[in-house]
Amino acid sequence: MSDHYAVVGYPIAHSKSPLIHRLFAEQTGQDITYEAILIDSDEEPFAAAIHQLRQMGYKGLNVTLPYKLDAFELAQTHTERAQIAQAVNTLIFHDDGTIEGDNTDGAGLVMDIRDLAGFPIAGQRILIIGAGGAVQGVLKSLLDEQPASIRIANRTAARAVALAKRFQQEAIPISGGDFSALSELPAFDLIINGTSASLQGKVPPIPPSVLHPHSLVYDMMYAPTPTPFMQWAQQHQPDCTVRDGLGMLVGQAAESFWRWRHIRPNVADVLHQVRRYITSSG
Ligand SMILES: NC(=O)c1ccc[n+]([C@@H]2O[C@H](COP(=O)([O-])OP(=O)(O)OC[C@H]3O[C@@H](n4cnc5c(N)ncnc54)[C@H](OP(=O)(O)O)[C@@H]3O)[C@@H](O)[C@H]2O)c1
C-alpha cells in the first residue's frame, strides 16, 4: 500500500510540490501519494487539521505559508536547523507517535547555488535582501558554507540588525542595515533577494553598485520568465549571472523527501522537468 504525504497551506492550489514529489517518486521507484491540502484556520485550527491527517495515516507533510510558525509550535521535537530558524516546513510523523519538525529551505538554497549553479559559497561576500521568515530560515545553512561575510539589508532596518545580531558568530562577520547604507559598501559576489517584493512586481530600492560582473544574483521567487529583480540586475550589470528560486524549491523538496524516504532523488533532472512544465504552462 502507498505511503501518503501532502503539502498544507492557505492558499495551496498554486503549489508545485505535488508535481515535484510525483517526479521524485517516479524517478526513485517509491510507492507514495502526495497531494495539496488547503487548511482554512477559520474553519479548523491548524493543529487539529494536522492531527487528523496523522490519524488518517499520513507519514509526513510539507508546510507552507502561512503555517510555518504554527508547525514549529506543533512539532514535539525539532532538528537543529528548524530550532534556529524557529520555523518548520517539513513534519515527520514517527511510528512511535511523535511529530518531528524540520526546515529544509536553507539546504535547498545551498543545494541550488552550490551544486546546481556550481557557484561556491565558501569565501564569498554575500548580500541578502529581506529579513522575514525565508531569510531567517536560510541564514544558518549559508553560514555553514563559510562565506567571507554576510550583509543583511531590509526595508525595516531594525529587523535586519536584529537578525544579524542573532546570527553573529566570531569567524564570519554578519551585519545588518537599510538599503541606502549599501551605496557605501563594495560590490558583492552573491546577492540573494529574500523579500516578497517580486510577488508585488517590485524591486527593492538597492543601489546598482552592489553588482559586479561576476556576481550571482539570486531571487528566491520563481516565475516562467525572469523576475523583476533578475531583470533589474541584468539591466545594470549585463555580465552578472541571474537565477530564480525554482531550484531552491526543488532542493528543499528533495531534502524533505530524503527525511521521509531516506533516498536522495536526482534534483537536476527533476528541476529540468519542472522548469519545462512551468514555462509551457505560463
Ligand atoms: N524558492 C523557495 O523555495 C522559497 C522558499 C521560501 C520563501 N520563498 C520566497 O521568499 C520570499 C519571502 O518570503 P518570507 O516568508 O520571508 O516573507 P515574509 O516573512 O513576509 O517577509 C517579507 C520580507 O520582504 C520584505 N518586503 C516586502 N515587500 C517589500 C517591498 N515592496 N520592498 C522591499 N522589501 C519588501 C519585508 O520587509 P519588511 O521587514 O520591511 O516588511 C520582509 O523582509 C517570498 O517571495 C517567497 O515566495 C521562496
pLDDT in tens, 210-256: 999 999 999 999 999 999 999 999 999 999 999 999 999 999 999 99
CA-nearest residue for atom 47, ligand 1, is 221
Residues 132 and 191 both lie in one domain: yes
Is pLDDT of 77 > 80? yes
| 16 among known catalytic residues | no
Identify whether residues 122 and 76 lie together within a single domain: no
DSSP string for the chain: --EEEEEEESS-TT--HHHHHHHHHHHHT--EEEEEEE--TTTS-HHHHHHHHHHTTEEEEEE-TT-HHHHHHH-SEE-HHHHHHT--SEEEE-TTS-EEEE--HHHHHHIIIIIIS----TT-EEEEE--SHHHHHHHHHHHHT--SEEEEE-SSHHHHHHHHHHT--SSS-EEEE-SGGGGGS---SEEEE-SSGGGGT------GGG--TT-EEEESS--SS--HHHHHHHHH-TTSEEE-THHHHHHHHHHHHHHHHS----HHHHHHHHHHHHHHH-
Q: Which of 16, 59, 68, 202 is catalytic?
A: 68
Decide whether any atom of ligand 1 lies within 6 Å of the 195 Cβ: yes
pLDDT digit string, tens, across residues 145-174: 999 999 999 999 999 999 999 999 889 999
Span 194-202, average pLDDT? 91
Residues 191 and 235 in one domain: yes
88-138 tens-digit pLDDT: 999 999 999 999 999 999 999 999 999 999 999 999 999 999 999 899 999
Are residues 61 and 93 located together in one domain of the fold?
yes
* 99 in the same domain as 120: no
How much is the pLDDT for 150? 98
Range of the domain at 265: 3-103+253-281
The CATH number for 98's domain is 3.40.50.10860
Q: Are residues 161 and 204 in the same domain?
A: yes
pLDDT at 169: 83
What total number of domains does the chain contain? 2
